Amino acid sequence: MLTILNSKQYTVEGDAVLSESDFKDALSKWDWSFFFHSVHCLGREFNEASWRMMKGNVVCEALEMCSGGQAKYVDEVGFDLLVGDTKVEVKTEVGIIHKNMARTKKIQLKNIRASAGDVPILQRTFDYLLIINTGPPFVSAFATWETVERNQYPTSDQIQCQLGSEDLDFVSRGTVRISDQISSPFSMKKKMTEEIHEWLEGVKNQVDRLPEDSRITDY
Task: Name all domains of the chain by residue range, CATH numbers in brackets.
Answer: 2-204 (3.40.600)
Q: With bands split at pLDDT 50, 70 and 90, how would you rate the model's confidence at 204?
A: very high
Count of CB atoms within 10 A of residue 19's CB? 11
Q: List, for residues 106-134, the tens digit of each pLDDT value.
A: 999 998 876 655 667 788 999 999 999 99
Which among 93, 73, 91 is positioned nearest to 83, based on CA atoms? 73
Average pLDDT over residues 67-76: 94
Instruction: Kindly report the pTM of this predicted structure.
Output: 0.84
What is residue 51's predicted lDDT score, i.e. its pLDDT? 87
Higher pLDDT, 108 or 216: 108
Q: With bands split at pLDDT 50, 70 and 90, how would you rate the model's confidence at 7?
A: very low
Asked if 65 and 73 count as a contact pair (C-beta separation under 8 A), the reply is: no
Which among 111, 104, 106, 146 is positioned nearest to 126, based on CA atoms? 146
Asked if 44 and 188 count as a contact pair (C-beta separation under 8 A), the reply is: no
What is residue 18's predicted lDDT score, i.e. its pLDDT? 95
Report how far residue 132's alpha carbon sits from residue 97's, in angstroms, rounded to the nearest whole number: 7
What is residue 15's predicted lDDT score, i.e. its pLDDT? 59
141 has pLDDT over 70: yes
